[in-house]
Copies of this chain bind each other. A is one copy, B any other.
Amino acid sequence: MNITAFIGSSRAHSNSEHLTDVVLEGITYKKLYLKDLHIEPINDLRHDAHGFQLVEDDYDQVIEALLTSDLVVFATPIYWYSMSGIMKNMVDRFSQAIRDERFPQLKEKLTATEAIVLAVGGDNPTVKALPMIQQFQYIFDFIKMPFTFYIIGEGNKPGDIANDKQALAQAAILNKQLKARTL
């Protein structure tokens, strides 16, 4: 099982990355640090006479990950009650990616690519991040990706997630289930 984690934090060693490490402990996977990629915001040319234009940035790495993974993790800090802006820009570009003639197989591939969301935030996230979870569901429904699990952790300062026993317990169970599937 090929796995890629999109790491959406602006910090190194972020809480959301740490939670990802727990979920995928002992499992081979690849990380894509969005903060280290140059990803342009979407330029919505869906209805332009010439359609979308090729963008010279690192987005092909995202598409490549989607095309080669059986499971993708969206690991994001909860900034202002939703995913980070750099992750949002990545998601916004899906609109162009699924129309990109260089990757005609992408749309079909996504329907067989499982999605997991791991999010960590500081202001009562198990309630106030619920709209974000609903949005991820809508996103995955639109591109027909199976959305199989999410964990919302609590944390502000670096390392805080280590104190969220509930989130860690959920991560440990998920880790066990994923390990069983990767054997």
**Is A80 touching B84 in the complex (CB atoms < 8 A)?**
no
Nearest-neighbor residue (CB-CB) of A127 within chain B: B137
Complex formed: what's the CA distance from A82 to B95 in Å? 14
Does A79 count as interface, using CB distance less than 8 angstroms? Answer: yes
Does A51 count as interface, using CB distance less than 8 angstroms? Answer: no
Complex formed: what's the CA distance from A174 to B166 in Å? 8
0/1 per residue, A67-110, Cβ < 8 Å to B? 00000000001011111111011011011000000000000000
Does A134 count as interface, using CB distance less than 8 angstroms? Answer: yes
**Is B47 touching A10 in the complex (CB atoms < 8 A)?**
no
Chain B residues within an 8 Å CB radius of A169: 169-170, 173
Chain B residues within an 8 Å CB radius of A82: 82, 88, 135
Interface contacts beyond A82-B135, A83-B88: sample of 14 additional A-B pairs, CB < 8 Å, sorted by A: A10-B41, A11-B44, A35-B41, A44-B79, A80-B91, A80-B94, A80-B138, A82-B82, A85-B88, A88-B89, A127-B133, A131-B134, A166-B173, A166-B174
Query: Which A residues contact B (CB, under 8 angstroms)?
Result: 9-11, 35, 41-44, 46-47, 77, 79-86, 88-89, 91-92, 94-95, 123, 126-128, 130-135, 137-139, 142, 147, 150, 156-158, 165-166, 169-170, 173-174
23 A–B contacts from the bound complex (CB under 8 Å): A10-B41, A35-B41, A41-B84, A42-B84, A42-B85, A46-B156, A47-B157, A79-B91, A80-B88, A80-B91, A80-B92, A80-B139, A82-B88, A84-B88, A85-B92, A123-B138, A127-B133, A128-B138, A130-B131, A131-B135, A132-B135, A165-B173, A166-B173
